[in-house]
């Protein structure tokens, strides 16, 4: 459940950042500046947005990798328990089979 919340929070954060970028871009286009200054500000803004998106993607990648590793460990642990239970079941079956054979 916490994984779902973090993804939802991440989506909200991403939407907020993208909304801010779009709003800032519109504000720059509407501001009374020369074309060169406006283009430079848009370029800077796009560069900042790209860096933030890369950081966000890196953060998400780390979380996913961590979750996958956690899942692998969980599966291995349960796999071992199931194998042990199957062996115990086989041994119990063989013992009961020997009791009834005599």
Per-residue pLDDT of the chain (102 residues; tens, 9 = 90+): 445 555 677 777 778 877 887 887 777 677 777 778 878 887 888 888 888 888 888 888 888 888 888 888 889 888 988 999 999 999 989 888 888 876
Where along the chain do its domains lie? 2-101
Report the pLDDT value the prediction gives residue 1, as an integer from 0 to 100. 43
Answer for the pair 67, 3: CB distance below 8 angstroms, yes or no: yes
Report the pLDDT value the prediction gives residue 86, as an integer from 0 to 100. 92
List of residues 6+ apart from 14 with CB closer than 8 A: 56
The C-alpha angle 58, 64, 67, rounded to 5 degrees, equals: 145
DSSP state of 34: -
């Amino acid at each position: 459940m916490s994984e779902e919340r973090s993804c939802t929070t991440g989506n909200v954060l991403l939407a907020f950042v993208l909304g801010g970028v779009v709003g800032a871009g519109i504000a720059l286009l509407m501001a009374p500046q020369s074309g060169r200054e406006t283009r430079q500000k848009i370029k800077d803004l796009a560069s900042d947005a790209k860096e933030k998106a890369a950081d966000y993607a890196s953060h998400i990648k780390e979380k996913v990798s961590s979750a996958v590793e956690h899942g692998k460990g969980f599966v291995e642990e349960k796999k071992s328990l199931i194998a042990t239970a199957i062996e115990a079941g086989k041994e119990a079956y063989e013992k009961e089979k020997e009791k009834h054979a005599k």
